[in-house]
Amino acid sequence: MNTLLSKTLFYLLLLSVITACASDQHNTSGKQTMHKYTNHLISETSPYLLQHAHNPVDWYPWGEEAFRRAREENKPIFLSIGYSACHWCHVMEEESFENEETAALMNKLFINIKVDREERPDVDQVYMKFVQFSTGSGGWPMSVFLTPDKKPFYGGTYFPPEDRYGRPGFQKLLQMVSDYYHNQKDQLQKNLKQVEQAFQTELAEGSASEIPTRADFNSAAEQLTRFYEPEFGGIGNAPKFPAVQALTLFLRAYKNTGQQHYLDMVEFSLENMAQGGIYDQLGGGFARYSVDKEWFAPHFEKMLYDNAQLANLYLDTYLITKNDFYLTISNEILAFVRSEMSSEEGGFYSSFDADSEGEEGLFYLWTKEEIYNLLDDKSAALFCRRFDVRKEGNFEQKNILHISVPVKELVTEFNLSEQEIKSRIQQAKTVLLKERAKRIPPHLDKKIITAWNGLMLSAFARNYQVTGKKDDKIIIEKNATFLQEKLIRGGELLHTYKDRQAKFTAYLDDYAALIQGLLDAYEAVFKSEYLRLSKILVKQVNKQFWDSVNGGYFFTSSKQEQLIQRMKDDSDQSIPSGTGIMALNLLRLFSLTEETGLLKKAEQIFSKYGSNYVSNPYGYASHLNALDFYLAKPKEIVIVLPQGESADTLLQTVQHQFLPNKVVVLQSYGDKESPVNASILQGREAQNGMPTAYVCYNFSCSLPVTTAQDLLKLLR
């Protein structure tokens, strides 16, 4: 397909998804640093772009200035896309973009544009699709060559400075691409037409089918089990990602069928993940993925969106099993986010880099000598045994902490009680965490992204529903207020916020995740304003993103910059598909409003993409989770609260159950302006001056109940 690839470069790009973390090295001494070079990125707010602001490369941000110059000078464009927490992005910067000879060649032959994929996921989405269908895979850093009118004609990911890994050296590649662009115009035009045809083929709209049935859902869940890795849990082999939506699908399948193997797969996966190196055994929080199938060696970056989704998955598993282990991990994740990734204004930061002091994972690694210097000998021996700390190291002469020996074995080995073992380990972790805080930490990307904040808002809201922790309630309300005040301007939602600047019109996933977070926040603290805002945002999504011709949602709104393709966001990636989240949002709001247009749009999504559900359940797991809500028909739970009474007992009865297909409404005394305008509220009154619950299902409601025992019977 890529003629330049086959006829000019003579290289096969055997590319794999390279996702890791690049260090954003800044001066923290407070002294002014003199730089030899400063380019057009210097006025940006993105930490990733600012990282490159003093490269000798004459970088431009994505914008008309760069494209105008490319047209005027008749130069092709080199587009480099990455993100702050990307290890191989940092490697390519160090090897090529900081190299004066390479930079001079780039500046001479190309107009160079640098994009933060987290700020401009629309740009990333389009050119990633090109790289994937032209090379067979993709990843970051992404390197794409464009014509001045933004059309791609060659691309890949990381390129080394010299020929290596079956990839051309970057300087050689630059010269060959430039020669091709200027001297092989006929072949270039032919190639561009092939690219256009490939986009049309890749993005062709399938015909709608019947809405999938319960049999289809069951078949998709069973199909997904074939990709389960039984030795250590999880989906697939190395590199191994948490696959939260897929495991959530297994929990729903267990709820529906009672088949134990679904729950067993989730529990085994979550236990191994939490005991592995992918989990920060001292500070909490998960790294983005494991480079091996054992969950042992992570790519050490920590992403907000992973930890939001995993907190909910561990919480759901707790609700099913009532095993405190899962609740503990969920709480530790949120404690980490509360402590390390929360802004004073109320937003949540994006990510921690993998690198510190120029070395990946250095912040998290230990030597055995360090541990013995910090702890008494018995505690050190116990800790090292528990976490597989070796003199020679278990990872590049140092040690990744991971749980290798269960507590019960340590009881016998060290002749201590289980309580004493746990106490010593906890004390040791406290000491080591305090010592670790003295190290130079990985860079924290303080960019606040609406979609990721919506996911984390949901995590704190759902945790508060179960635990009732006052700190969580404060965070929920502070974050929701922050998002409303800082990321909604002129009635329009924006995508990012940093340095007191909100930027970029919001994308589909921003709307979808925020609506989900607000719905969960409503069911946590029952502030009517959250429902009102959800309804407003859904109307905006349906007006600005819905494809009135073929159905489904575009990733970009009708008000955003139109790129060479307007693409849809139908399948799950690192975060759930915006379309999948929206399908569930539509159904939840339909239960609260009975607006049939919401139901019809959800049904259109299911019929449009339903043929993919069984063939690709991993990519459409978020759709399947929404489909389960639709097929099950949700329980609509109304709690009526008399003046001066508390609903805590009835709410705890509801929220301590695994009920993924439910909506909860609290009708307080004197509340005459509820945003819930569905029939489930009509005629609902408190009985005998007591908090009273009604459970409605499939347009039929139960008799009122006032005790937890009676409510539990209705829920079951």
Parse the chain into domains and list their residue ranges: 3-202, 214-356+445-632, 362-441, 635-715
3-state secondary structure labels for all residues of 345-396: CCCECCEECCEECCEECHHHCECHHHHHHHCCHHHHHHHHHHCCCCCCCCEC
The answer to whether the beta carbons of residues 428 and 422 sit under 8 Å apart is no
- CA 341, 347, 348 angle in degrees (round to 5)? 30
* DSSP letter for each residue of 534-564: HHHHHHHHHHHTB-TTT-SBBSS-TTS---S
Instruction: Return the pLDDT at 668.
Output: 84
First to last CA, the chain: 56
pTM: 0.92
**Per-residue model confidence (pLDDT) at position 33:** 64
Domain 214-356+445-632 class, CATH top level: mainly alpha
Res 672: pLDDT: 66
Could you please report the per-residue DSSP string of 634-693? -EEEEEEE-TT---HHHHHHHHTS--SSEEEEEEETT----S--SGGGTT---BTTB-EE
Per the prediction, the chain carries an average pLDDT of: 92
Architecture in CATH of 635-715:
3-Layer(aba) Sandwich (3.40)
Evaluate whether 656 touches 321 at the Cβ level (below 8 Å).
Answer: no
Closest CA to 516 of 599, 611, 424, 580: 580
pLDDT in tens, 450-491: 999 999 999 999 999 999 999 999 999 999 999 999 999 999
Sign of the torsion formed by the C-alpha atoms of 611, 615, 510 and 532: positive
> What Cα–Cα distance (Å) separates residue 106 from each residue in 99, 304, 479?
10, 34, 43
Higher pLDDT, 671 or 59: 59
Instruction: Tell me the DSSP string of 415-445.
Output: T--HHHHHHHHHHHHHHHHHHHTTSPPPPEE
When pLDDT is averaged across residues 183-194 and rounded to a whole number, the result is 95
Tell me which residue has tokens 């809201």.
Answer: 461
- Kindly report which listed range (14-18, 329-333, 397-401, 511-515) carries the lowest average pLDDT score: 14-18
pLDDT at 519: 98
Does residue 506 contact residue 494 with C-beta atoms inside 8 Å? Answer: yes
Two tokens at 252? 């729903």
Residue with tokens 């993409």: 609
DSSP code of 97? I
Percentage, residues of the chain above pLDDT 70: 95
Identical topology for domains 3-202 and 214-356+445-632: no
pLDDT reading at 286 higher than 60: yes
Please report how many Cα atoms fall inside a 13 Å half-sphere around the Cα of residue 253, on the Cβ side. 28
User: Which stretch of DSSP H or E encloses residue 571?
Assistant: none
CATH class, range 3-202: alpha beta
Q: What are the structure tokens assigned to 239, written together?
A: 């590199």
Identify the CA nearest to 617 among candidates 249, 252, 214: 249
For residue 9, the surrounding DSSP H or E stretch is: none
What is the pLDDT averaged over residues 283-288?
97
Question: How large is the greatest C-alpha to C-alpha distance in the chain, in angstroms?
Answer: 87
